[in-house]
């Protein structure tokens, strides 16, 4: 089926099987491998990306469902070689260990702040319920998000 | 994990969607947010040969005050139910329960109609709308009919919906200030409830329904009857599992679920009793 999806500002006209998952489409058809596949059962959040501005788990969305939509992946956050404030906050606050969950964490965190610009620590922790860190590095992930929110970005 | 091959049809209206499933019969499934159906398809537990995508029917995404009840379009997302000011005011129990479904990413995609039509007893919204005495409006090739939530759930993932019928609206009576509580007991935040309880009490009545206490969501009619006849919350809660037939699984034995249901119903009624 023919679809048209704008990914990180660039529109792609693609012909996909209806059963193609959105995560498979961005990784294999578009070569954007920053979005990871973790559990593949919509539990871990590693595959989180933005679909029309909101975080979704792209292992549980079909590419055909994204037809006509705007998609942002971790690769689309930096502008002019400068990291997104959330990426910068993760770096400054050591918000990652092995890094596998990080793209999904960053995408979920940006979506969280769009819905709640000044969350409490508890709200950040609840807001991250859909993202798992197997290194258990939650403390600094939460600190990174709070720092980004305090930065007003 | 990739689903089996299927044909994909995108409906541009409810009538077209119903016409498509009528044409393809049992081989077709509606696709709304996909957060119940796609995981089953990826695990090859479901393999419909045709998916009829109704996810773009924006006219079925709404929350409106209809006087004695709130009308919710079937394609309203969990996030919109959770944050609705109309629901927070008139049916706060449902808004709260919607905020416990999955996680934010899931709530950005999943819909209330999809969750109810999927009829999973472990899901939060079937039991919550059952406790609230909701009515479901379904549309089929031969017209529209209303089904009481109490008559809707027939078995494990089975409902009163016919293959050519589509759930279009959920009507939830206003709570009129009644006390309420939603209890969800699980090991990890995003998990399904091991046992959950949706309860309200006030204005001379009560309603209690249980999540994951059998093959269907369970209306704990014994609890409501005991409260109506003057029983204490503690005594009424002892009847929590009287209508339930829970299963044992990796998370809990049936006996533990019965115990948990009594504890959670007591907590829920204590919170709901003003």
Phi-psi region of B172 (alpha: psi -120 to 50; beta: other; left: phi over 0): beta
Return the structure tokens found at B190: 């995003």
Percent of chain B with pLDDT over 90: 96
Chain B residues touching A61 at Cβ < 8 A: 34, 38, 109
The ranges assigned to domains in chain A are 2-76, 85-150
Beta strand B158-159 with B166-173 is unpaired
Q: How far is A50 from chain B (nearest CA, A)?
A: 9
CA dihedral sign of residues B85, B86, B90, B95:
negative
Residue B41 banded pLDDT, cuts 50, 70, 90: very high
Element (H, E) at A11: strand A10-15
Q: Looking at residue A153, what is its pLDDT? A: 47
CATH number assigned to the domain with residue range A85-150, chosen from the 4 options 3.40.50.300, 3.40.50.720, 3.90.1150.10, 1.10.150.120? 1.10.150.120
Give per-residue pLDDT as tens, B52-108.
999 999 999 999 999 999 999 999 999 999 999 999 999 999 999 999 999 999 999
Percent pLDDT > 70 in chain B is: 100
The CATH topology of domain B60-173 is 3.30.465
pLDDT digits (tens, 9 = 90+) for B170-179: 999 999 999 9
Residues B193-243 have pLDDT tens digits of 999 999 999 999 999 999 999 999 999 999 999 999 999 999 999 999 999
- Beta-sheet strands, E only, within chain B: 7-10, 28-31, 50-53, 63-65, 69-73, 135-140, 143-148, 153-155, 158-159, 166-173, 179-185, 195-202, 205-211, 218-219
Cα(A111)–Cα(A116) distance, rounded to whole angstroms?
9
Model confidence at B187, pLDDT cuts 50, 70, 90, reads confident
CA-nearest of B145, B143, B203 to B174 is B203
User: If you ran DSSP here, which 8-state letter would residue A29 be given?
Assistant: I
Beta-bridge partners for A32:
none
Alpha carbon B76 to chain centroid distance? 13
Q: What is the pLDDT of residue A152?
A: 59
Nearest Cβ partner for B34 among A43, A45, A61: A61
Nearest to B35 by CA among B96, B97, B124: B124
pLDDT at B189: 80
- The top-level CATH class assigned to A2-76 is alpha beta
pLDDT along chain A (153 residues), means of 10: 98 98 98 97 96 98 98 97 97 97 98 97 97 96 97 65
Q: pTM, whole model, 2 decimals?
A: 0.96
Distance CA B178, CA B89 (A): 11
Considering only CA atoms, which of A124, A117, A71, A115 is closest in space to residue A93? A124
Please provide the CATH number assigned to the domain covering B7-53: 3.30.43.10
What letter would DSSP give residue B41? H
Domain with CATH 3.30.465.10 in chain B: 60-173
Check A55 against B108: CB less than 8 A apart: yes
Q: How far is CA A45 from the centre of its chain?
A: 8
Angle, to 10 degrees, between the axis of helix A138-150 and the axis of helix A102-115?
40
> Does the domain at residues B182-272 carry the CATH identifier 2.60.40.10?
no
Q: Does A42 sit within 8 Å of B105, measured CB to CB?
A: yes
Q: Which of A2, A18, A103 should we substitute to test contact with B (largest number of B Cβ atoms within 10 Å)? A: A18
Chain A residues near residue B106 by CB distance under 8 angstroms: 42, 57, 60, 130
Q: Å from B108 to nearest chain A CA?
A: 7
> Closest-CA residue in chain A for B4?
A19
Determine phi and psi for A56, rounding to 5 degrees.
Answer: -135, 165
- Name every chain B residue with its beta carbon within 8 A of the beta carbon of A103: none
User: B17 to each of B40, B108, B206, B233, how far by Cα in Å?
Assistant: 21, 23, 38, 47
From chain B, the residues in CB contact with A127 under 8 A are 104
Contact list, A65 vs chain B (CB under 8 Å): 31, 34, 53, 55
User: Between chains, do B105 and A127 touch, taking CB under 8 Å as contact?
Assistant: no
d(CA A104, CA A117): 19
User: Is the CB of A45 inside 8 Å of chain B's CB atoms?
Assistant: yes
Contact A95, A89 (CB under 8 A): yes
Its ipTM equals 0.96
**CA-to-CA distance for A34 and A76, rounded, in angstroms?**
10
- Where in chain B are all domains bearing CATH 3.30.43.10? 7-53
Contact B38 A60 (CB under 8 A): yes
Categorize the per-residue pLDDT at B36 as very low, low, confident or very high, splitting at 50, 70 and 90.
very high
| Distances in whole angstroms, Cα of residue A142 to Cα of each of A41, A54, A105 | 24, 19, 10
| Residue of B155, B107, B116, B123 lying closest to B138 (CA atoms) | B116
Boundaries of CATH 3.30.390.50 in chain B? 182-272
Pick the residue from chain B with its C-alpha nearest to A130. Answer: B103
Question: Is A60's CB within 8 Å of B7's CB?
Answer: no
């Amino acid at each position: 089926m023919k679809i048209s999806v704008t990914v990180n500002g660039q529109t792609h006209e693609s012909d996909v099987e209806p059963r193609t998952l959105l995560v498979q489409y961005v990784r294999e058809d578009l070569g954007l491998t920053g979005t990871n596949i973790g559990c593949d059962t919509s539990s871990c959040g590693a595959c989180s990306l933005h679909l029309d501005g909101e975080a979704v788990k792209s292992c549980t969305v079909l590419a055909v469902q994204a037809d006509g939509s705007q998609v942002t992946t971790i690769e689309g956050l930096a502008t002019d070689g400068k990291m997104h404030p959330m990426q910068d906050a993760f770096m400054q606050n050591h918000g990652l260990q092995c890094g596998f969950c990080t793209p999904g964490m960053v995408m979920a965190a940006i979506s969280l702040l769009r819905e709640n610009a000044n969350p409490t620590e508890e709200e950040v922790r609840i807001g991250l319920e859909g993202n798992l860190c197997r290194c258990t590095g939650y403390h600094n992930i939460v600190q990174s998000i709070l720092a980004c929110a305090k930065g007003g970005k | 994990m990739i689903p089996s091959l299927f044909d994909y049809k995108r409906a541009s209206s409810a009538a077209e969607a119903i016409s498509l499933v009528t044409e393809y019969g049992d081989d077709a499934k509606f696709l709304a947010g996909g957060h119940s159906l796609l995981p089953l398809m990826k695990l090859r537990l479901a393999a419909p040969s045709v998916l009829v995508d109704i996810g773009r029917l924006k006219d079925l995404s709404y929350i409106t005050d209809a006087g004695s009840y709130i009308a919710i379009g079937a394609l309203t997302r969990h996030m919109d139910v959770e944050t609705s000011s109309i629901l927070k005011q008139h049916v706060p129990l449902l808004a709260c329960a919607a905020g416990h479904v999955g996680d934010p990413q899931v709530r950005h995609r999943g819909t209330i109609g999809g969750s109810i039509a999927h009829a999973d007893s472990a899901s939060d919204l079937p039991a919550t709308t059952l406790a609230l005495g909701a009515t479901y409006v379904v549309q089929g090739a031969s017209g529209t009919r209303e089904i009481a939530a109490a008559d809707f759930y027939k078995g494990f993932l089975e409902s009163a919906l016919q293959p050519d019928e589509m759930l279009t609206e959920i009507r939830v009576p206003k709570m009129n200030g009644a006390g309420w509580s939603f209890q969800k007991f699980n090991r990890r935040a995003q998990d399904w409830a091991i046992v959950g309880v949706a309860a309200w009490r006030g204005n001379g009545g009560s309603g209690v329904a249980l999540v994951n206490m059998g093959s269907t969501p369970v209306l704990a009619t014994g609890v409501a009857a005991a409260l109506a006849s003057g029983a204490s919350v503690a005594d009424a809660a002892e009847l929590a599992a009287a209508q339930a037939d829970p299963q044992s699984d990796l998370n809990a034995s049936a006996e533990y679920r019965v115990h948990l249901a009594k504890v959670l119903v007591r907590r829920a009624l204590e919170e709901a009793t003003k």
